[in-house]
Structure formats: C-alpha cells, structure tokens
C-alpha cells in the first residue's frame, strides 16, 4: 500500500495524487510510488485519461534536499537513471495526461509536470528549476523536456538563473497551457481529461506515440513512425466502429470500445 502517492479512479479519469505534506517533496519513496501509480494507470482499462495533482496548496516543491545532501557521487551515479525514469514515468503513460498545478512546481516537481501532455496552473502559481542555486542542475529530465517545450534559449534562461516563473510568462512561452483561478485548477484539468473517456483509446495512444517518438528523431524517421502506428490501427475494432458510424451517422457519433 502506497504511503504518499495514490491512484484514484472516477468516471474513466485516474488521478495520481501526491500527498506528502507539507510540500510534496519527491524523495526516493515518493518517486517509486509515482512510478507504480503511473504503471497502474497504464494497465487499467477503466482509466482513459490521467490527472497528476498535488492537492489544493502545492503541486510539488522539488526533491527532498536533505536526502540529496546525504547522497555521495558514487551513490548518485548508481541511482540517477532510476530517479530520472521515476519522475519521467508520467510521460510513459500511453493515455492523455494533464498536470493540475497549485502553489509551486519547482525542480523535480516541474520535471514531473513536464512529463504530462498538458499543464493547468492557478493564477498564483510559481514554477521553475532552482537546482542551480544548490550547485547542481535538473536531473529528472528537466534540461531535456524543458528545452523541447519552450526552446533552448528560454530553457537556458530558466535553468541558468534558477528563477521562479509566474503564470503570465509561463503561459506566454508555452510552459503551461491554461491559467485559471487557484480553486479551479483540478476542475479545469478534469474538464480537459473528460473529453477522452469515450474516445478511441488505441488511436489516442498511437497519436501520442507518433508525436513523442517523432520529436526525438529526424522528420524522415518520424514519418516512418507515423506510417507504422497509422497502419496498426486498421487492426483495431475502434477503427471499424468509427468508420462505420461515420458513414451511417456522420462524425462524432461513434461509441468506441477501446479495442
């Protein structure tokens, strides 16, 4: 039984909930519990979309600094791959994912949110990668995902300075996708996620794989990835359901099974 991270499922939406007061610091135990929750959300057929949420006060204010301070070079060399993959496990969920961010998403907290497909924040939220102020750099995927999201120049400014980014700037540079009142963050994330509870799940997974994998390679290879996942959907029941429904009733009327 997980102590700090749970997966709560309701109406086709899974909420991965962080609950390690006061700031949801991401120690090794929390990291592994995030990995387990992400895996559960992946394999459960009743989960069609996923919200990552830290509660009403804070998303996650970063790594557990006390734990990091006690870690030697040799120890970190042995665990960094696990640390990075645990924080990045949200990105591996083959379903639409959204981070519902309240309060702060700093360091590892922002890295966790960067693994989601979408980020919704309150209008009082601060995000950033302040690791440089500790004499280190983001190590949970931040240097890579942030640069891919906002471009290398903006990513370097945020990482080099360690400064906090407010909601207006975060929205302007594409770091987040929606800014709402603080008490509407979870509801806004749920509204977005609810679009997919009756969607063609395998097609969504294929679209996500084509985009994410294509971004990691050149255009020609990306097009081949698209070819492969596109063709694979012609083996699914949802493709037949969708096309037959379109011909009989027009667009948007199909009732998909996820198969």
Q: Which residues are the active-site residues?
A: 111, 131
Reduced 3-state DSSP string for 88-154: HHHHHCCCCEEEEECCEEECHHHHHHHCCCEEEEECCCEEECHHHHHCCCCCCCHHHHHHHHHCHHH
């Amino acid at each position: 039984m997980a102590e700090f991270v749970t997966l709560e499922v309701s109406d086709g939406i899974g909420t991965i909930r962080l609950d390690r007061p006061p700031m949801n610091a991401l120690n090794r135990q929390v990291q592994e519990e995030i990995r387990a929750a992400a895996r559960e959300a992946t394999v459960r057929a009743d989960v069609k979309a996923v919200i990552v949420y830290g509660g009403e006060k804070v998303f996650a204010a970063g790594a557990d600094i006390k734990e990091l301070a006690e870690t030697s070079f040799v120890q970190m060399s042995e665990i960094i791959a696990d640390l990075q993959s645990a924080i990045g496990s949200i990105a591996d969920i083959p379903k639409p994912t959204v981070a519902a961010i309240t309060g702060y998403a700093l360091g590892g907290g922002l890295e966790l949110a960067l693994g989601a497909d979408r980020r919704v924040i309150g209008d009082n939220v601060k995000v950033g990668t302040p690791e440089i102020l500790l004499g280190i750099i983001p190590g949970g995927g931040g240097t890579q995902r942030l640069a891919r999201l906002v471009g290398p120049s903006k990513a370097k400014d945020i990482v080099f300075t360690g400064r906090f980014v407010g909601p207006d700037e975060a929205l302007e540079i594409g770091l987040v996708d929606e800014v709402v009142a603080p008490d509407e963050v979870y509801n806004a994330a749920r509204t977005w996620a609810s679009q997919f509870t009756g969607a063609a799940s395998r097609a969504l997974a294929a679209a996500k794989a084509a985009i994410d994998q294509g971004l990691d390679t050149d255009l020609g290879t990306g097009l081949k990835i698209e070819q492969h996942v596109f063709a694979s959907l012609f083996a699914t029941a949802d493709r037949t359901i969708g096309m037959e429904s379109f011909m009989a009733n027009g667009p948007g009327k199909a009732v998909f099974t996820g198969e």
